[in-house]
Amino acid sequence: MIDILENVATRWLSRRAEPQPTAVAAVRDLTPAVVITGGSSGIGLALAHQFAKYAQAIVLIARTQNRLDRAVIALATEYPGIRVEPLLLDIGRPDAVEIIAAWLTEKRLYCDVLVNNAGVGQSGPFSASDPSGLDAVIATNIAAVARLTRAMLPDMLARGRGGILSISSLGALIPGPHQATYYASKAFVVSLSEAIRSEVAGRGVRIAVVLPGPVETRFHARMNAEGALYRHFLKAASPERVAALAMRGYRLGRGVIAPGMIPTLAIPVLRILPHAVTVPVVRWLLDTGRPLLPGDRAR
């Protein structure tokens, strides 16, 4: 059934597509790839497993070599017919887009689907935040998402097909005291995705953003936010469940994807309620009860 619905969604999303012969010819001898940032663990790796069921090639971009190696082995073992390519890179680097483009050309690949998944978090009072951590959040969660999307989108439009799937957070819909920069960065991802989706409507490119609630990854521990009250009140979903629901929504052509019951119920509520009501609650839920430490950021 989902295959039928996906075909219907694809036809609707491509109703105004005008593939340019030169753009199509330029990639005729290349292999289409799903490029996933932060693809060596968590939601990124879980999404790689989802896309591996349909894609010809998966590109995993991450900062840690041993995690990349393990991820490649896991994917190659489960999906022996697919090409898996690792790229060790910090996408927060100003020259990351150029490095990725040159690397794809060298590997005779092109980006058919971009998954903006890599993210950095920072917890604690903004006034005491580590400036280097602040820079890392902006470089990874905002600048890299915008730069990569801008770099890949024109060619997708020229080919009349492709997709950009960005991972945001329920926190994007509300200011987050004690995680102020992280929440603001995820709001940027939602705003950018929804705006671009409107701009390119009907031209054959899927633009979607995923807003998961808490997910059971190492992300919270790496930014020392495990002590926050929300970690005790809200049940965390597994990366595999979030990825499966995100993939389903992406295939069905949805623009904003709520992966699970909590996000499905929370998104319309958070969009309606005034911040005067919600921000104090979020401040209470995110308070860890301790001062910010220099290393309080996560990748």
Q: Is the dihedral of CA 209, 243, 47, 220 positive or negative?
A: positive
Among residues 186, 193, 230, 250, the one annotated as catalytic is: 186
Among residues 40, 41, 168, 169, the one annotated as catalytic is: 168
Among residues 182, 183, 230, 250, the one annotated as catalytic is: 182
The dihedral region occupied by 132, where left means phi > 0, alpha psi between -120 and 50, and beta the remainder, is alpha
SS3 233: helix
Mention every residue, 6+ apart, whose C-beta is less than 8 A from residue 125.
Answer: 178, 291, 292
Residues 239 and 43 sit within 8 Å (Cβ to Cβ): yes
Residues 267 and 211 sit within 8 Å (Cβ to Cβ): yes
Q: Is 79 a catalytic residue?
A: no
Q: How far apart are CA 123 and CA 129, in angstroms?
A: 8
Q: Is 186 a catalytic residue?
A: yes
In terms of Cα–Cα distance, which of 285, 239, 244, 288 is closest to 266? 285
Q: Is 182 a catalytic residue?
A: yes
Query: Annotated active-site positions, please?
Result: 168, 182, 186
